Structure 1
Amino acid sequence: MKIVAIILLLIILITLGRALLQMVRGGRSTQMVKALTLRVGLSIVLFLLLLIAYGVGWIHPNA
């Protein structure tokens, strides 16, 4: 579970970087919007995955 969360976080950071590069270069805004949309979607998936993992008992909060 930890590996999946770390991989998703890295992919989220990569898509954020791609959107930043598109913004700095002044390129097509559609590519930037697609990258940001993908980032938001992956963030929601990660959040739901963490909620499900907590509900099932795969992860536990620290005391």
Structure 2
Amino acid sequence: MRKDGTKGYTIRIDEQLLHKLHVISAYEGRSANSQVLILIRDAVEAYEAKHGRIELEGKKDS
């Protein structure tokens, strides 16, 4: 874990899908990493809007 609390996470992704991610992130003026974080945050927000807040026991939730 880094000093700022972030963790690395490796994924396996199809080459064409990765290229498309880079196209979208460049269009949005972001890195691919930043674009993925935005997509994950959007998915979590949508899930929580439908199912309620996800409570993490023993973890600080932001």
TM-score by length of 2: 0.38
Flag the structure with higher helix content: 1
TM-score by length of 1: 0.38
* Higher RCO (C-alpha under 8 Å, 6+ residues apart): 1
